[in-house]
Structure 1
Amino acid sequence: MVGTGGPVATFSVWDYVVFAGTILAAAGLGLFQAIRGRKETSSAEFLLGGRQMTAVPVAMSLTASFMSGITVIGTPAEAYRYGTAFWLFGFSYAIMSTVTAEIFVPLFYRLGITSAYEYLELRFSRPIRVIGTSMYIVQTALYTGLVIYAPALALNQITGLDLWGVLVATGAVCIIYCTLGGLKAVIWTDVLQMVIMLAGFVAVIARGAVLQGGLTKIWKDAGEGGRLETFDFDPDPLKRHTFWTILVGGSVMWVSIYSINQSQVQRYISCKTLGHAKMSLYVNMVGLWITVSLAMFSGLTMYSIYKQCDPLTNGDVGTTDQLLPYLVMDILAVYPGIPGLFVAAAYSGTLSTVSSSINALVAVTMEDFIVPVWKGLTERQISWMNMGLSIFFGGVCIGMAGVASAMGSVLQAALSIFGMISGPLLGLYLLGMLFRTANSVGGLVGMITGLALTLWVGIGGQIYPPKAEKTNPLPLTTEGCTINQNYTTAYPWTSPVTSQPDFRPALADTWYSLSYLYFSLLGLLITLVSGLLVSMITGGCKQEKLNSDLFVRKNDLICFSFFSKSKASDVTEKAAADFDLGADNAAFTDIAVMCKDGEKTTKL
C-alpha cells in the first residue's frame, strides 16, 4: 500500500527502455550538432557556438545547467524536511538575473572574451587570472562530482544498478557529445533535458494528486504539517533558512554563480547580440521560477503521502536524497515506463550540468593556460586539444564523485561549494569593475583573505554541523507504517543526516553554524574591504592607464541606454549604437583589446 513503508518495486523492462531511449536521444542530439557543424572546426565554434546562439535555447541551457540532478533529487527533499522557505529563492533569482544582465553581461560582451577570467588579467595581473582560473577549476570539478553522484544514488535506490557503473556511464555519455559537438551540442541537449526534468516533476505531482484526492488535499496536509510557514523574519545569521538569509545571502550566492561562473558566462557571450544575451537571463529567471515551484510542490506531494510513515526514519532509505526516487517507485511503478522517465529527468539534469562543466573547464584551460604559453598553435591542433581536454576533465569529474558525496545533503553541499569559492571571486570582480583605485596587490590580498575565511567557516560547518535548533527540521513520524524496519540501510558514500561529532569546540555553535547562504556574502565583503584598504596603502592605480571598457558604465543599464545621448569616446558611433540597440557585438568586429607593456589600451 502506498505510503505505509517497506520495500518498493524496482525497474521494469519498459522503465529501462524509456530511460535508455531518453539518454540515447540526448547523446544523439549532441552528435547531430557535431555532424551538422563538422565543417566549422574553429575554437570559437567549439567553445562559443560561433557566437550565433539566440536567447531562448541559451536561457533553457542556463536553467538546465544549474537546475541539475541535484535540483531534481534535493529540492523536493528540502520541502519534505524543512518546508517551503526554499521557495523564497524566487526573489533571489529575480535579483540575480537583473544584476547579471545589466552589470556583468554588457562588460563581458563588450570585451569579447572567451574565458571570464581574462578580465582578471586585463584589470589586475596575469597571476591573479591564473589563481582565479585555478579556483574555478577546483570548484567546478568538485561540484560536478556531486552532480554525478546525485542521480547515481537515485538509480542505486530504485534499480539496484552498481553505483560505480552508473557514475562511469554518466561521464562517458557526457564526454562523447561534449568532445564531438562543443557548446552547440551542450546547449541543444540542455533544451531537451530541461523539458524532461519538468515532465518528471509533473508526473510525480499528477499521480500524487490522484492518490491523495487532489492538489487541495496536498496543500492542506502541508499546512497542517507546518510545511507552509515560509516567511521567517528572524535576523539571526546562524539560522539556516530565513527570509533574510535567502533574500540577502541567497541573492549574492546566485549572482556569484551566474555572473562570473564560466559555465554561465560562456553561454550568454555565445549569443549573437547583446539583446539576446540579456534576454536569455530574463527568460532563464522564469525558467528557474517554474522549475523550483514544481520541485517544491513535488516535495509537498511527498509529505502528503508519507506524513504518517517517514521512509527515512523507518529505514526504507539511507539518506534524504533517496526520498524522491523511493516515492517514484512507490506511486508510479504501476505505470511501466514512467519511473524510467523520472530517472531520465534526474539523469538529464546531471548530463546537462556535467556537459556544461566539461565544456567550460576546457575553455578556461585553453584560454588561460595553454594558448598564452604555446603561441602559434594551428586550429587543428587546438581542436584536438579541446577534445582531449574534454575526455580528461570528464574522467576527473567522475573521480571527484566519491569526494563530493561525503558532504552530506547534495543540495546544501552544492550551494556551499559555490558560496565558499565564488563569493571571494565575485568580490574580486566587483573590486575591479567598480573601484578605479583598486590595484593588483589589493586584489590578490583581498581575494586570498576572503577565500581563507570562507573556507574556514565552510569546512568547519561540514565537520561540526549546526544543531537542529538552527537548521529547523520539521517533525516526521512512523506511526502509520505497516512495516517498521527500525534500521538505517547502509549505502555507499552516504552520511547520516543528523551526525554530530562527539567533541564540539566553542566555535561550533557560533562561527561554524553560520548559514551556508552567507558564505558568498562573507567572502564578497571581506574581499572588497581588505582589497580596497591594501590598494590605498600600496598607492592605488595612479601610475596605470586603465581602459574604460573594464569598468561598469551607466549606459550599460536598460534605464540609461535608451535615453542617454552621450557615447563612450573609445567606441565608434556605429559600434555604440549597435551596443545600445543590441545589434551584433562590436567587440568582435571593430575593437581589439590588447595588453602591451603592462598598459591597457584599446585599438580601433
Structure 2
Amino acid sequence: MATAGDIGTFTVWDYVVFALMLLISAVIGIYYAFAGRKQKTSQDFLMGGRSMSAVPVALSLTASFMSAVTVLGTPAEVYRFGAMFSVVGIAYAIVVLISSEVFLPVFYRLGITSTYEYLERRFNKCVRLIGTIIFLIQTIIYTGIVVYAPALALNQVTGFHLWGAIVATGAVCTFYCTLGGLKAVVWTDVFQVGIMVAGFLSIIIRAVVVQGGIAPILNDSYYGGRLNFWDFNPNPLQRHSFWTIVIGGTSLWTGIYGCNQSQVQRYIACKSRFQAKLALYINLLALWAILACAILCGLAMYSIYKDCDPWTAKFVSAPDQLMPYLTLDILRDYPGLPGLFVACAYSGTLSTVSSSINALAAVTVEDFVKPYFKSLSETKLFWISNGLSLLYGAVCIAMAGLASLLGGLLQAAISICGMMGGPLLGLFSIGILFPFANSLGALIGLLVGFAVALWVGIGAQIYPPLPSRTMPKYLSIEGCNFSAIVTNWTLTTALPTVTGIKTDAPVSERPALADNWYSLSYLYFSTIGTVITIIVGIIVSLLSGGLKQNVKRDYLLTSQDFAYLKVLLPSSWGKKRDEEVKVLNWRTRYSHSYPDKGADNPVFTHMEMTSAEKIGNANGINS
C-alpha cells in the first residue's frame, strides 16, 4: 500500500516529455505563421478564413472545453463522491443538441465574428457593450485560474516548478496564438487532445495491471458505494443528483457552447453550416470518451487507495493533488510516463488558454476597434489582432499571478465566472426565441438575472453549506503505514479522523437564507441566472410594447432552420408538400405571363393558394 514516502519523483525523462509537448505546440504556430502566409486579414487570422472542416474543429472544441481542471478534478470527484457525475454525459448531449439546432443556425446565417455583434443587431449598442464587458471579465479571471490552479497542484506533489510552468505554458500559448491565429489554435488543440487521451490511458492501463484486471476495480467501487450512477432525489439543496447535474449542467454548459465566444468562434469558422453542425456532434463523441477516461481513473484511484486515503492521511493537502499523487505512485518505475500525465494536464491548460486568447482578441477587434475606427484597412486590423493576442497572453499570465494571491477565494472566483454565463445565456435565448423581446426587456432582464445570480453565489461563499451536505463518501486510513513517512513530508502528529464519520460543527449566526437559498447546488447558479433573465426580459418586453416591434427574421430561429427535418417525416407528407410547391411555382409563372388573370384563375382555390404560399415562403421561393 502506498504511503507518503514511497511514491516516485520527477526524472529527467519526465521533463523531456513535457518539454516536447510545448515544443510541438510552438512548432505548429510557426508552421501556420510561415507556411500559411495567405492570412492577410483579421478574418483569416481570427476565423481561419471560415474554411475549417468538421473533424479538427470538433477536437478543438473538446480540448478547449476539457481544461486541466477537468483532468485533475473529475477523477478526484469520482474518488470522493462516486460516479454520479458521469450522468453529465446526458447534459453534454442536450447541450450539443441545443447549440447546433438553436444558436448555430442564427450565428452562422449572420456571418458574424463576435457573438456579441448579434446583441447590437437584435437589440442595441448598450446591450452589446454590457454583454461584451461581462465576457471579457469572465474569461480573463477564469483563464488566470485555469493556468494557476493545476500548476499549484502539480507543484505541491511532483515538485514541478510552479512559476516556470506557468510562464512557459502562458508564453507558448501566446506565441502560437500570435503567430498562427485560429488555424494554429485549432490544430494545436488536435495534438493536445491526443496527449490528454494518452495521459489518461497510461493511468488506466497501469492501474488495471496493478489491481489484477478491471473486475477488481469495479468490485471495489461497487462495495465502496462508488457506482452510484442514479439518484433521482429532486431536492435542489443536494450537491449532486440526476436533476442537478442534468438541469444545472445543461444550463451551465449551454452558456459555453451556445453563446460563449471561445466555442462559437470555432464552429462558425467552418466552411459550411453542415460542417459546423457535424463538428458539434463529433465533439460530443470526444467529450464522452474523455469523460469515460476520467471516470475510470477515479474508480481505479478508489480501488488502489480504498484502505489508505492520501487526502485524509494528509499525504496531499487538497483533492486536486490526488491524480498527480496517483501518477507518481503507480508509474514511478516507468520514466517519462509521469511526465506524459503532466503534459496531459497542461494540454488542457494550453487548449483553454489559447482559445481564450483568440476569443478575447476577436471580441476586442469586432466590438471595440471596428465600430469606432471604421477607416482601418484589413491589413491594419490583421496586425492589431496579432498585437491583441500578445497583450491578452500577458494579461492571462498576470491574472495567474493574481490568482496565487487569492488563496481561499479561488473557488469563489470560479463560481462567479460560472454565474456570469447564466444571464448571458438568458439574454441570447430571449433574442433568438422570442420575437417580441425588445432592448429594454433584454437590458433589465440581464441586469436582474446577473444581480440574482451574484446574490446566491456570493451568499454561498460567505455561508457555505453545512459539512453534512458536502461530505464525501467513506474514506479509510486503516491500511496506511505511517511509520514509513519520510521527513520531507509535513504531516499532523495525530492520526486524522476518518472522513466518512464527520459530523456538523456548531454553527452560529447563520441567517435564515443560509440553509436553503445559499445552500442550493452550485450547478443551479447558472440556471437561476438564465431563468430570471428570460422571465424578467419577457415581462418587461410585453409591458413596454414589444409586440408592436418588427424584428428581422434573420435574427430569430425560424422554420427554415429545420427544413432538413423533412427527411424524417412520412413520405406522404413530403409528396404532398412537393405537389403544393409545384402549384405555387405554376401559379407564379402563370401570373407573370398573365398579370391581369393570374390571381383570379379558377384553377386555384383559396386553400391551395394559402397552403402553397406558406410552403413557398418557408423555402424562400417567393423571396
Superposition TM-score, scaled by structure 2 size: 0.85
Structure 2 partner of 1:551: 556
CA shift digits 1:238-275 (9 cap, x unpaired):
11100111111111211111000101100000000100
Question: 3-state DSSP class of the match of 1:145?
Answer: helix
Q: Structure 1: how far apart are the matches of 2:286 and 2:412?
A: 23
Confirm or deny that 1:532 pairs with 2:538: yes
Q: Structure 2: how far apart are the matches of 1:372 and 1:469?
A: 53
Structure 2 partner of 1:598: none
Label 1:534 to 1:404 Cα distance change in 2 as closer, same or farther (>3 A).
Answer: farther
Label 1:28 to 1:446 Cα distance change in 2 as closer, same or farther (>3 A).
Answer: same
Structure 2 partner of 1:594: none
Question: 3-state DSSP class of the match of 1:511?
Answer: coil
Confirm or deny that 1:87 pairs with 2:86: yes
Structure 2 partner of 1:560: 565
* Alpha-carbon offset, residue 402 of structure 1: 4.8
Question: 3-state DSSP class of the match of 1:343?
Answer: helix
* 2:157–2:316 contact (8 Å) kept in structure 1: no
Question: 3-state DSSP class of the match of 1:557?
Answer: helix
Q: Structure 2: how far apart are the matches of 1:182 and 1:503?
A: 53
**Residue identity matched to 1:56:** V
CA shift digits 1:82-138 (9 cap, x unpaired):
110110001001101111111111110000000011110011000100100111111
CA shift digits 1:468-508 (9 cap, x unpaired):
3322411112111112769669xxxxxx9x99997533322
Label 1:488 to 1:536 Cα distance change in 2 as closer, same or farther (>3 A).
Answer: farther
Structure 1 partner of 2:77: 78
Q: Structure 1: how far apart are the matches of 2:66 and 2:408?
A: 19
Q: Structure 2: how far apart are the matches of 1:437 and 1:176?
A: 46
Question: 3-state DSSP class of the match of 1:372?
Answer: coil
* Alpha-carbon offset, residue 8 of structure 1: 2.5
* Alpha-carbon offset, residue 409 of structure 1: 11
Q: Which runs of 5 or more residues in structure 2 are unaligned?
A: 493-498, 579-584, 586-622
* 1:407–1:462 contact (8 Å) kept in structure 2: no
**Residue identity matched to 1:301:** A
**Residue identity matched to 1:247:** V
* 2:158–2:328 contact (8 Å) kept in structure 1: no
After TM superposition, the structure 1 stretch with the greater mean CA deviation from structure 2, 459-468 or 197-206, is: 459-468
Label 1:558 to 1:517 Cα distance change in 2 as closer, same or farther (>3 A).
Answer: farther
Structure 1 partner of 2:609: none
Question: 3-state DSSP class of the match of 2:392?
Answer: helix
Q: Structure 2: how far apart are the matches of 1:107 and 1:404?
A: 37
Q: Structure 1: how far apart are the matches of 2:338 and 2:442?
A: 50
User: How do 1:379-528 residues align onto structure 2 when only pairs under 5 Å count?
Assistant: 379-402=378-401, 404=403, 406=406, 416-483=415-482, 504-528=510-534
Structure 1 partner of 2:496: none
Question: 3-state DSSP class of the match of 2:141?
Answer: helix
Structure 2 partner of 1:287: 286
After TM superposition, the structure 1 stretch with the greater mean CA deviation from structure 2, 111-120 or 397-406, is: 397-406
Structure 2 partner of 1:370: 369
Amino-acid identity (%) = 56
Question: 3-state DSSP class of the match of 2:204?
Answer: helix
Structure 2 partner of 1:586: none
User: How do 1:97-496 residues align onto structure 2 when only pairs under 5 Å count?
Assistant: 97-402=96-401, 404=403, 406=406, 416-483=415-482
Label 1:319 to 1:339 Cα distance change in 2 as closer, same or farther (>3 A).
Answer: same
Q: Structure 2: how far apart are the matches of 1:190 and 1:413?
A: 28
Question: 3-state DSSP class of the match of 2:3?
Answer: coil
Number of residue-to-residue matches in the alignment:
558
* Alpha-carbon offset, residue 206 of structure 1: 0.6
* Alpha-carbon offset, residue 464 of structure 1: 2.4
* Alpha-carbon offset, residue 287 of structure 1: 0.6
* 2:22–2:169 contact (8 Å) kept in structure 1: no
* 1:18–1:337 contact (8 Å) kept in structure 2: yes
* 1:204–1:328 contact (8 Å) kept in structure 2: yes
Label 1:547 to 1:383 Cα distance change in 2 as closer, same or farther (>3 A).
Answer: same
Structure 2 partner of 1:599: none
Question: 3-state DSSP class of the match of 1:373?
Answer: coil
Question: 3-state DSSP class of the match of 1:513?
Answer: coil
**Residue identity matched to 1:72:** V
Q: Structure 2: how far apart are the matches of 1:43 and 1:387?
A: 9
Structure 2 partner of 1:15: 14
Q: Structure 2: how far apart are the matches of 1:409 and 1:244?
A: 28
* 2:3–2:315 contact (8 Å) kept in structure 1: no
* 1:419–1:518 contact (8 Å) kept in structure 2: no
* Alpha-carbon offset, residue 446 of structure 1: 0.3
Q: Structure 2: how far apart are the matches of 1:408 and 1:198?
A: 31
* 1:15–1:337 contact (8 Å) kept in structure 2: yes
* Alpha-carbon offset, residue 417 of structure 1: 4.2
**Residue identity matched to 2:565:** F
Label 1:358 to 1:551 Cα distance change in 2 as closer, same or farther (>3 A).
Answer: same
**Residue identity matched to 2:520:** L
**Residue identity matched to 1:547:** K
Q: Structure 2: how far apart are the matches of 1:4 and 1:409?
A: 30
* Alpha-carbon offset, residue 340 of structure 1: 0.7
Q: Structure 2: how far apart are the matches of 1:488 and 1:121?
A: 57
Question: 3-state DSSP class of the match of 2:523?
Answer: helix
Higher Cα Rg, which structure: 2
Q: Structure 2: how far apart are the matches of 1:145 and 1:502?
A: 35
* 1:4–1:306 contact (8 Å) kept in structure 2: no
Q: Structure 2: how far apart are the matches of 1:317 and 1:518?
A: 30
CA shift digits 1:502-533 (9 cap, x unpaired):
75333222111111111121111111111111
* 1:124–1:443 contact (8 Å) kept in structure 2: yes
* 1:143–1:417 contact (8 Å) kept in structure 2: no
Label 1:310 to 1:509 Cα distance change in 2 as closer, same or farther (>3 A).
Answer: same
After TM superposition, the structure 1 stretch with the greater mean CA deviation from structure 2, 459-468 or 521-530, is: 459-468
Q: Structure 1: how far apart are the matches of 2:161 and 2:508?
A: 33
